[in-house]
Amino acid sequence: MADSNKTAKLTIDGKDYELPIHTPTAGPDVLDIRKLYAQAGVFTYDPGYTSTASCDSTITFIDGDEGVLLHRGYPIDQLAGKSHYLEVCYLLLYGELPSPAELEDFEHRVTNHTMLHEQMLNFFRGFRRDAHPMAVMVGVVGAMSAFYHDSTDINDPWQREVASIRLIAKMPTIAAMAYKYTIGQPFEYPRNDLDYASNFLRMCFAVPAEEYVVNPILSRAMDRIFTLHADHEQNASTSTVRLASSSGANPFACIAAGVACLWGPAHGGANQACLEMLKEIGTPDRIPEFIARAKDKNDPFRLMGFGHRVYKNHDPRATVMKESADEVLELLGIENNPVLQVAKELEKQALEDPYFAEKKLFPNVDFYSGIILEAMGFPTSMFTPIFALSRTVGWVSQWKEMIGDPQNKIGRPRQLYLGETARDYVDIENR
């Protein structure tokens, strides 16, 4: 906990209460209200917890007004431009960038945990063939606790470490198998001679009938998508993981809870919603019509993939993602893909429109990641599973940090009760 050298005075019914103010290393000061109920008999009211710090953390910092995203102090654009996903995983998990030997050891440990227990394949076959891949992932990730009993004791540091590596290593295999199952193709097992992103692409797109070679440009773009989504502070799914963890639940159950929360269209489904919007627009000649609708306050239509709830200036991840989008589109071509034609023209017209510049509604990471995934051949139903795969390391890092926090206690939000007061039961014949 940050040192408290300032206080605030709160007056309730004429009585003053001194509340500590904690000053973080970055970001706004935090008013400590933990003793407020005991002292004054009142709760605070904050729907969505948008003004409440639920924990202290050293992992990720966001300044939405300035468009800043730092992982352990390192700017996201530097990490995405100079590093790669597994190195960022190491940074998030352990707090520092690895030495060459540490990175080699970490990559080796992850690579050797990519296979699933063979009996887990029966779980996939128990789903309907048209099941959403996220439904499959929620079930399979939660079921990992039934197979890996040697890494469920959260009080054992070694078991926490093993669970962390297993989750990061096996999530691409689970996501790829969920995809293969929904399209009726045989599962592709992981290959230990491929890097993390290339292995995932191969498990998704290879078939036993022919050799599959991963294009390095696509692999690099995939790795950047993983990196840019690795962690994002105390968002809905991360808070869900922490809340589930606070009860002492095993790590696989906690991460499954995060996957379930991420499934929501307001969270992990944003890039899917963006692609669905592009398909609704249909052709480039209809873009002015939809831009006009987006400007109309009385029209419910909104341009998905523009602006961000947190970033009020620009999304620092979007610049890097746009570079990857341009590389992928140049490699694959968009002449025969109407959705990508609409996306490129919408981006051009929106950036040239003063309305969007004034409102700071620039394309965000979801807009560009959706374009890349569409160009690679992923259906929109796979966008959120890929997000879950990417975010697993963030969830695991936050989970590990919380388990090791001496202030950790079970989450118990309060409420502003507006229901009926006590009343007597009335027998059914008298109602």
CA distance 283 to 299: 20
How much of the chain is helix, strand and coil, in % rounded to 5? 55, 5, 40
Query: Does the annotation count 366 as an active-site position?
Result: yes
Contact 398, 93 (CB under 8 A): no
Q: Which residue has the tokens 């080796």?
A: 108
Contact 272, 380 (CB under 8 A): yes
Of 408, 58, 412, 413, the residue nearest 248 (C-alpha): 408
Q: How far is Cα of residue 174 from the mean position of the Cα atoms in its chain? A: 17
Retrieve residue 377's tokens: 């051949």
Q: Which of 84, 232, 308, 315 is catalytic?
A: 308
Q: Which of 223, 231, 315, 366 is catalytic?
A: 366
* DSSP designation for 284: G
CA distance 325 to 213: 20
Contact 278, 386 (CB under 8 A): no
Query: Does the annotation count 424 as an active-site position?
Result: no
CA distance 98 to 88: 9
Contact 87, 98 (CB under 8 A): yes
Rounded to 5°, the CA angle 230-121-112 comes to 50
Catalytic residue numbers read 308, 366
